[in-house]
């Protein structure tokens, strides 16, 4: 499956990501939320994370959402825009606030991990078919959505159903299940997520969340429950990920139901947040480039490794020239100047690492700073 859709239409971008982003407060030290004395501000949102990773990798990306007419809304729009994401279609809500949340420093999977969300009644929860620019949403090669949006409100669910309806000319629809039981007000969440996933072309789901949401055990059971998507990616944590191609009669079939499995590289984890979003972005980046399924999975793993080796959800954005200085101009004289140094990212090394043979890929170890220097990555590949 390659990225199809209205590619030649004016204003079309590589990816549109629609969903809520929140201001995230990261603890200054480990411990219970009750004991943490201060927090550092960051941004967090499954869909905007995907847009940021793709924009930093050189793709054109647009984030569509609603934020409050408040300082936190200002921060989200500015911070996400700093990655090169088009935020011109984000709407400001004068009556509803921007969502925020606080979390502890521990691993999300541990019993000690705490998250305190303040998102009820947020501006993003008011997204609806009638107040979102659907033309801007659909002006993409790929439209990326997640199950989180469907849980925010009835209007958001109606919007998700509209966007995942199979209609001629729609962009390729990517859907990350993102099962969050605490967000659903009733027991319908799993059923709704399955319904939405069946309307997508590319679906990402964790083996563990498929088991928790749908009682499905193993990737083949997930595929049997989701025959419609052209590509189904089942993530298995440190063990790796599998991609199922399309089946006979399915949309945009890849390789007649072929299964591709790629183990994950060994990663020294700093914070286990944002990896799922980064994986989706890496896979979509390779999809946009028309790469083979094996390489799409490897790009997904590499993007996830970049997120796992930094404290927050995202690596810092690439350095960009100040907005007040014309591109390529010296800030004092206005004359052409050398391009500013750009912070290296996972994408700078991904092509070379994704091309490794299976044995070298199996030896790959990635730790903090691996995206900063080719030499370090080369050394890690050689490590037995």
Q: Does 37 score more than 80 pLDDT?
A: yes
Quick check: 215 pLDDT over 60?
yes
Query: Highest mean pLDDT: which of 3-17, 128-142, 173-187, 241-255?
Result: 128-142
What's the average model confidence in pLDDT over 208-219?
95
What is the structure's pLDDT at 310? 82
pTM over 0.85: yes
| Chain-centroid distance, C-alpha 344 | 19
Task: Please name which of 266, 281, 283 lies closest in space to residue 365, comparing C-alpha atoms.
Answer: 266
Question: CA 243 to CA 253: how far, in whole Å?
Answer: 12
Per-residue pLDDT at 290 exceeds 80: yes
Contacts 24+ apart (CB under 8 A), 161-168: 161/195, 161/196, 161/199, 162/129, 162/134, 163/18, 163/137, 163/138, 164/196, 164/199, 164/200, 165/199, 166/199, 166/251
Is residue 321 pLDDT above 90, yes or no?
no
Name the pLDDT band for 330 (thresholds 50, 70, 90). Answer: very low
List beta partners, residue 174.
Answer: 144, 202
pLDDT band of 328, cuts 50, 70, 90 = very low
Percentage of the chain surpassing pLDDT 70?
A: 82
**Is 93's pLDDT higher than 90?**
yes
**HSE (CB half, 13 Å, CA atoms) of 194?**
18
- What per-residue confidence (pLDDT) applies to 171? 96
259-262 β-sheet, strand order: 61-64, 13-18, 140-146, 172-176, 202-206, 231-235, 241-244, 259-262
Residue 108 confidence (pLDDT): 57
Residue among 19, 26, 22, 25 nearest 65 (CA): 19
Three-state SS string across 315-331, please? CCCCCCCCCCCCCCECC
pLDDT winner (highest mean) among 109-123, 182-196, 265-279, 314-328:
182-196
Residue 341 has pLDDT above 70, yes or no: no
Which residue has tokens 């030499």?
Answer: 375
The catalytic position among 93, 201, 207, 277 is 277
CA 62 to chain centre: 12
Instruction: Check whether 272 has a pLDDT greater than 60.
Output: yes
| Most trustworthy range by pLDDT among 114-123, 196-205, 247-256, 330-339 | 196-205
Q: Share the mean pLDDT of the chain.
A: 85
pLDDT level of residue 271 (50, 70, 90 thresholds):
confident
Per-residue model confidence (pLDDT) at position 202: 97
Nearest of 174, 181, 230 to residue 19 by alpha carbon: 174
**What pLDDT, on the 0 to 100 scale, is given for residue 377?**
46
Q: With bands split at pLDDT 50, 70 and 90, how would you rate the model's confidence at 323? A: very low
Q: Does 201 participate in catalysis according to the annotation?
A: no
Residue 182 pLDDT greater than 50, yes or no: yes
pLDDT band at residue 318 under the 50/70/90 scheme = low
Residue 257 confidence (pLDDT): 59
pLDDT over 90, % of the chain: 66
Its sign, for the CA torsion 236, 191, 111, 76, is positive
Per-residue pLDDT, averaged over 21-30, amounts to: 90
Q: Which of 105-114, 340-349, 360-369 has the highest mean pLDDT?
A: 360-369
More confident residue, 287 or 108: 287
**What is the reported pLDDT for 369?**
85
DSSP-assigned letter for residue 183: G
Look at residue 339 and tell me whether its pLDDT is greater than 60: no
The pLDDT of residue 109: 55
Mean pLDDT, residues 39-66? 94
Report H helices in 95-168. 134-138, 147-150, 154-164
Residue range 210-235: mean pLDDT, rounded: 96
């Amino acid at each position: 499956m390659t990225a199809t859709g209205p590619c030649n239409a004016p204003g079309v971008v590589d990816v549109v990501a629609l969903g809520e982003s929140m201001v995230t407060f990261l603890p200054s030290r480990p411990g219970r939320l009750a004991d943490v004395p201060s927090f550092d501000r960051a941004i967090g949102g499954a869909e905007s994370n995907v847009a940021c990773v793709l924009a930093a990798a050189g793709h054109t990306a647009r984030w569509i959402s609603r934020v409050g007419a408040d300082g936190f809304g200002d921060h989200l729009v500015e911070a996400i825009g700093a990655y090169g994401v088009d935020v011109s279609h984000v709407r400001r809500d004068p009556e509803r606030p921007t969502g925020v949340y606080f979390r502890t420093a521990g691993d999300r999977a541990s019993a000690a991990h705490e998250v305190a969300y303040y998102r009820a009644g947020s501006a993003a929860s008011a997204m609806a078919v009638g107040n979102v620019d659907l033309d801007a949403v659909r002006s993409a090669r790929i439209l990326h959505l997640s199950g989180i949006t469907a849980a925010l409100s009835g209007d958001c669910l109606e919007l998700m159903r509209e966007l995942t309806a199979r209609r001629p000319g729609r962009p390729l629809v990517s859907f990350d299940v993102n099962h969050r039981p605490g967000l659903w007000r009733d027991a319908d969440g799993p059923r709704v997520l399955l319904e939405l996933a069946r309307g997508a072309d590319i679906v990402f789901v964790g083996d563990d969340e498929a088991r928790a949401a749908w009682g499905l055990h193993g990737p083949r059971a997930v595929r049997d429950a989701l025959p419609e998507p052209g590509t189904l990616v089942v993530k298995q944590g440190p063990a790796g990920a599998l991609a199922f191609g399309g089946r006979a009669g399915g949309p945009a079939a890849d390789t007649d139901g072929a299964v591709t499995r790629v183990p994950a590289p060994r990663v020294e984890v700093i914070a286990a947040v944002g990896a799922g979003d980064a994986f989706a972005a890496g896979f979509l980046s390779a999809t946009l480039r028309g790469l083979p399924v094996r390489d799409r999975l490897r790009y997904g793993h590499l993007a996830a490794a970049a997120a796992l080796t930094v404290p927050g959800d995202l690596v810092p954005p690439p350095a960009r020239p100040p907005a007040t200085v014309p591109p390529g101009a010296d800030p004092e004289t206005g004359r052409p100047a050398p391009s500013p140094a750009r912070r290296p990212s996972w994408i700078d090394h991904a092509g070379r690492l994704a091309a490794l043979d299976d044995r070298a890929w199996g030896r790959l170890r990635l730790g903090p700073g691996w995206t900063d220097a080719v030499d370090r990555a080369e050394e890690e590949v050689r490590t037995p």
